[in-house]
Chains A and B, each alone.
Chain A
Amino acid sequence: MKSANRETYNAIIKQKYLYFIYFAIAVLLAFLTDIAVGSSSLSIYDVFSTIISPHLNDPNTNVIVWDFRLPKALMAIIVGASLAVAGAEVQTILDNPLASPYTLGISAAAGFGAALAVVFGLGTIPFAGSILVSVNAFIFSFFSFSIICLIAKIKNASKEIMILTGVSLLFLFQALISLLEYLATDEQLQKIVFWLFGSFENSSWSTVLICFVIFIIIVPLLAIDSWKLTALKLGDEKAKSLGINVEKLRLKVIICVTILTASAVCFVGTIGFVGLVPPHIARILTGEDQRYFIPLSALLGSLFLSLASIGGKIVCHKGVFPIGIATSMIGVPFFLSLLLMKRSESF
């Protein structure tokens, strides 16, 4: 009997590892396709020979592959993973299927920070230049987060309060963005709109590096608490009875999520969908066990953003297609079909 249980468990675990392998391969393929596809008609051979030996090819190809395609493709992978993990954790701690960094107002706050930099700040700090927009977006994400924390602290970190605070902040920051759009000149307005669309165009090796470092620092911090987070899904009372300091855990996760989201969003703009849907798909596939839920969310996030990037390039091969539009257009039909096929209720 005991060994039969063991076998069932092992079979389930094996199934979950198989998902990892499938999706890791999918992400890798998507990444390679993302590098191979582009508006210039480089052959696949050209692209990969340039990656392997950069100095043997002509400088034009070199620039296209190393300065344009690689940073953008890597950015899609890292940002996708960051946003999906952030979304997964927000859904876990708030126990709400609608929750995502977007719902907590973090993305809107980042957008407001960026718009503020565009309308009032740009050029006033001589050395900040174009990164001022990113810095400002980061600062405002944190500002929004600290308000949530403050209110949560007063009200004992209850999840309803957090969601309501987040949603109110979302509306506040959206109104503030509209106000800035109203005040902006046409050029500024254009810049704000482009930013809000989301785009990998401003990706460079330094932004890739920053996002990557933050990702590999934050995710282990979350992984340490994976058992506690899994227990949290049983409900606050049960988690408490298991000896978990629910308030403290919730605040810690919120801090991690904010850093992850802010670092991703500040470079690529607001991308709404990736924080919400990939975690749901991951949950449908693996269930609530955080040991599998976190990495699978990350893989799915990367996969979606890579696919969106490829899709955007195919649809609009001369111009730049806003990534935020592409993600939702590719992801939502997929998600809906998954909902229709799903057998059990897992929310």
Chain B
Amino acid sequence: MFKMNTTVKRRLFVGILLCFLISLRICVASAAIPGDLDNDNMISRAELSDAIISYMKFTYTGESVKCLEKDMLRETARKHFTITVTDLAGRKVTVPTRVERVVLGQSLYIQEFAALEGENFTEKIVGWGSELETYDIDTYNEYLKKYPEIKNIPTVGSLNKNTFDTEAIISLNPDLVIMPLMMKETAQKSTENLENAGIPVLFVDFWKDPLENTQKSILVMGQVLGREKRAEDISRFYGEQMDKVYSVLNSEEENNTKQKIYVEYGSFGPSQYGMTFSTSNWGPMITKLNGINIAEGVASMAPIDPEYLLAENPDMIIIAGQYWPESKDSMLLGYSTNLTESRKRLQGFCTRSGWNTLNAVKNNNIHGIHQGISYHIYNFAGIQALAKWMYPEKFADLDPEANLREFHERYLPIDYNGVWILDIVEAQEK
């Protein structure tokens, strides 16, 4: 009688499990729900799998200590407790319920990841691409101040430079790799290899089609990370912010006098024309707001012909900025900047030959905006800023900067600092 055979053991286990699940249901009404770690009176999938793991650990202790170590249990949970979601590439992706080890295929996703995971987000990142350091050193430094440990997160190369190291990712043993949809073609082979190694790959998108995919991406990230509530909250906030623009635009008659807008990536400074945006980043936003993007038709991410710019005579010029320490006259924006310096840099662009004849320059309709706003979860601030610049009367009450600050306060572990959205002169002076 003391020696049960395997079948009996299994049946017993299933029985206990059922009892446990039923007891969980019953307990919902009471004040403290067992397993409800964040006390929100809900058992999320993550919490449930935690509860089952700890239950198994408790039940089987003493019988065979060897197979009860947490890693083993995690492995078991990973295999048996999974959910399936549809990612932004339209693929069905099956991930463990309890995702604890994540590789960010692009480290620029730090903002979205931190927004979902909160203060202790670094615990879950076991590896990431090198983009944050090479592309947005300002945000990297800002996080580094509060989270020195990000320096030790292993980098796995970069998809952009074709140095993505699939082997390194496999050796990190992640539960999930999050990849940018923009790089799907480049990552084809890596994706196959990772999936063959049993590591799920989730494609999300904040770049290719930001107006459509931002909410979807944050929601699917929330699902796989077991942060559905947080994701829904962020998505709701995002939706409200977008509605501030859309509701006004839709209620008005179609604007016939369309404004011509030129946007440039201000990385080269005034001396050399930087690339402009035809179909990516700011381009679709301008079109959405009924403006004319004069760079439409220019090869994607190529510089405009200066002569064409003068001939088109745009009504508004927007210089997209970032923090480029190596270039002393580039458009400086971001966490570690100040208004005086940023405005001086923006004014520098007006000294280009022929620009004094442009309507935008004559009317001081020149603005700076942080490039990162266009490809992050807070891109609502970008479309708000554009809307306010294009239709100052309609959007007089809209304050994109304050909304961006609010997003930081509500969801991001770091504080809003520096200059992100900039007019060439103070609004009153105009």
Contact = CB atoms under 8 A, between A and B. Distances in A.
Interface of A: 38-42, 58-60, 63-64, 67-69, 122-123, 126, 129-130, 182, 185-191, 194, 201-202, 313, 316-320
B62 interface: no
B271 A130 contact: yes
Contacts of B327: 122-123, 187
A67 B353 contact: yes
Contacts of B272: 130, 191, 201-202
A319 B299 contact: yes
A64 B311 contact: yes
19 contacts: A39-B311, A40-B310, A41-B311, A60-B313, A60-B357, A63-B353, A68-B307, A68-B354, A123-B327, A187-B327, A188-B326, A194-B303, A313-B305, A316-B299, A318-B294, A318-B298, A319-B276, A320-B273, A320-B302
A39 B307 contact: yes
B308 interface: yes
Given A122-B327, A182-B161, A319 B357 contact: no
A64 B357 CA distance: 11
A38 B134 contact: no
Interface string B287-314: 0000000110111001111111011110
A58 B311 CA distance: 12
B161 to A, nearest CB: 7
Per DSSP, chain B at the interface is loop
B308 A318 contact: yes
Contact of B135 (A122, A182, A186, A320): A186
B375 to A, nearest CB: 13
Nearest to A40: B311
Contacts of B163: 182
Nearest to A65: B307
Contact of B307 (A58, A64, A122): A64
A93 to B, nearest CB: 36
Given A59-B357, A129-B271, A186-B134, A318 B328 contact: no
Contacts of A60: 310-311, 313, 354, 357
B307 A201 contact: no
A40 B308 contact: yes
A186 B160 contact: yes
A202 B275 CA distance: 15
Interface of B: 134-135, 160-161, 163, 267-269, 271-273, 275-276, 294-295, 297-299, 302-308, 310-313, 324, 326-329, 353-354, 356-357
A130 B326 CA distance: 12
Contacts of B134: 185-186
Chain B CB within 10 Å — which of A58, A126, A187, A319 has the most?
Answer: A319
Contact of A191 (B268, B328, B357): B268
A63 B302 CA distance: 22
A68 B160 contact: no
A318 B326 contact: no
Contacts of B161: 182, 189
Nearest to A38: B307
Contacts of A316: 298-299, 305
A63 B309 CA distance: 12
B207 to A, nearest CB: 13
Nearest to B134: A185
B357 A320 contact: no
A64 B305 CA distance: 11
B242 to A, nearest CB: 28
Nearest to A130: B271
Contact of A190 (B267, B306, B307, B357): B267
Contacts of A42: 311
A309 to B, nearest CB: 12
A320 B298 CA distance: 8
A187 B306 contact: no
A64 B160 contact: no
A201 B308 contact: no
A171 B365 CA distance: 49
Contacts of A319: 276, 295, 298-299, 302-305, 308
B380 to A, nearest CB: 25
Contacts of B328: 123, 126, 129
Given A38-B307, A188-B326, A202-B272, A67 B354 contact: yes
Contacts of A67: 353-354
A78 B313 CA distance: 31
A67 B354 CA distance: 8
B326 A123 contact: yes
A317 B271 CA distance: 21
B218 to A, nearest CB: 24
Given A122-B327, A319-B308, 7 more contacts: A39-B307, A39-B311, A60-B313, A64-B354, A319-B276, A319-B305, A320-B273
B271 A320 contact: no
Contacts of A320: 273, 302-305
Chain B CB within 10 Å — which of A63, A186, A317, A318 has the most?
Answer: A318
A63 B271 CA distance: 16
B305 A122 contact: no
A324 to B, nearest CB: 14
Contacts of A122: 326-327
B307 A40 contact: yes
Chain A CB within 10 Å — which of B303, B307, B324 has the most?
Answer: B307
B311 to A, nearest CB: 3
Nearest to A67: B353
Given A187-B267, A201-B273, A63 B357 contact: yes
Nearest to A199: B303
A318 B297 contact: yes
A28 to B, nearest CB: 22
